[in-house]
Amino acid sequence: MMTTLPSGDVARLRATVDFVREQDTPTLLSLLLPGLDGPELRTVVDRCRFAHAALLVFPPHPQALRAMLTACGLASDTPAQPSVVVRERLALRHGRAVTELDVEILRPTVAGLDGAQRMVEVFALTVPEGSQLTEIAEHERAWQHETHLAFEIEDPDPLLLRGLCAVFRRHGAVPDGGGYTPHEDGTVFYFAAPVDAKAGCRRVELYVPGDHRDVLAAHLDGHRAQQPAESLLRLLTGAWTTQALAVFAQLRLPEAMDVATGNRIELLARTVGADPENLATLLRYLVMLDVVAADRTGFRLTELGALLRADSKGSMRPLALMYGGPFYQSFAGLGHTVRTGQVAFDHLFGENHFDHFARDPELAELFDQSMAASSHMFEPLPAHPVVMAAGRAPVPKTVVDVAGGTGELLGRLLAAHPRLRGVLLERPHVIEAARRSLDATGCGERCAYRAGDFSDVPADGDIYVLSRVLHDWDDDRCREILRHCARAMPAHADLLIVERVLPTDGSISLATSWDLHMMCNVGGRERSADHYARLLDAAGLTYVDRSPLPLDGSVMHARKTAGSSMT
């Protein structure tokens, strides 16, 4: 068939091919980053190489794209892959659904005059004649948002990557987004070129193989810092994210979706009983959160989204339902808490959350499941020196888990150390669930159960555990709980306290977030290590040390103070 090629796109593609053929890395870096010279230039040249120049074209159909490649001396059989980053940028820039923008990426090779093999990165959005996408094509041709130069970092060391990003910023390049592309396992860092750049291109990409989203997060923070109004708007819409994740879990969408294969929206809507158009809106939002992914086959679950499946290992579904349910409602009363000092949850529901959940079996079960959902925090605890020593002792030792929930932590300790025995102290309605949980791990025969409150801490244990207990209470109640433990503990016993500890240097920590949560919903608080040491001292206990745990957790070790009267 006769193929009419968009002449403007062909001319731009041909000019890009010539540019890639004629450039070399040192010259191009000098033009791109004025002021980068001498030893610093040599250092950067040694660490990265000019890899490609990119542009976005708009063929009317796939055959036209192949014809354009041929017309510019490029291999027409170059394979195509979906372009996640550019598709999302176009959707955001033009207010369109990601699923409407089927952007492909092709990378035909070009031999440079210096003998180096490089590529022309061709982004292609098919825009048939009369298509509603014509307006997007006209805008993008005029502004060339996606035209950029790319340098590939050959050593994916995170420290080196941070250093190169810093060099680009120091010489005037401004962070301008980026992303991780899972199908090719690569991370891109976009910069706006310095205003005095002489390379003839306004955007620059650093590409590094592998998943470097930790470094990317800092880069994106730099991008947002250039746009404070956008940053604030994103913060203000945080509640939408909480509810979107909660509804995703409520509808059982994670169970209805597959990680490998996409599902059409109509099928998903029928499966979960939802309106197709509104469900598509929800899923497009979740694409931005990397909870689901979209391609030409439909929507599929990501590894992140799979954590919201009820049957997934380490499922966080209960947390989504809890944070999007009762705790979400009570956070609307945060202002009341800040003004009056009263707990928002109590103000809203007329009772504290422990009593409220205890009276509702479904809520009580959800709360216990949500506590267990953060069990990743406990993974290093079986290797704690105190636990290791007890597990190797010639005479079986006993671990007393005070208010230990359904026994998630106690079960880990007993499973890792077959000679240990356990005692679980909990409220009566939790005991049966704990018994089932520990029986399922095969540790039930080595565990005894005590129904009661903090005044009933069993005596004569060897290790006492308080896991995420003290942050529920004010200082007076904490001192009381610790005194009950001290009275029950023999002189040789150890106390392990698992909490998130507030940093004292102003660093970012989940503990700071949970401090707000505890204040609003429970009336408790997170504390610094020094604060815990003072509480322990008042209860006749001595703070020994602290070790880090996942999820910004810590385990603090304490023992009875010599000569303490807490007996």
Annotated catalytic residues are: 471
464: β partners: 400, 495
- 3-class DSSP state of 533: helix
- For residues 431 and 451, the answer to whether their CB atoms sit within 8 Å is yes
The Cα 40–Cα 258 span in angstroms is 48
- For residues 60 and 126, the answer to whether their CB atoms sit within 8 Å is yes
* Residue indicated by tokens 């290590």: 529
398: β partners: 421
- For residues 333 and 347, the answer to whether their CB atoms sit within 8 Å is yes
- Quickly list DSSP for 393-444: -SS--EEEEET-TTSHHHHHHHHH-TT-EEEEEE-HHHHHHHHHHHHHTT-G
The Cα 137–Cα 130 span in angstroms is 12
Q: What are phi and psi of 93, to 5 degrees?
A: -70, -35
Q: What are phi and psi of 182, to 5 degrees?
A: -65, -35
Q: Give the number of other Cβ atoms within 10 Å of residue 464's Cβ.
A: 24
The Cα 519–Cα 517 span in angstroms is 5
In 85-237, DSSP assigns E strands to 103-106, 109-111, 117-125, 148-153, 174-181, 186-192, 203-209
* Residue indicated by tokens 């939408």: 240
Q: At what angle do helices 213-225 and 228-236 cross, to 10 degrees?
A: 120
Torsion of CA 211, 216, 218, 220, to 10 degrees: -150
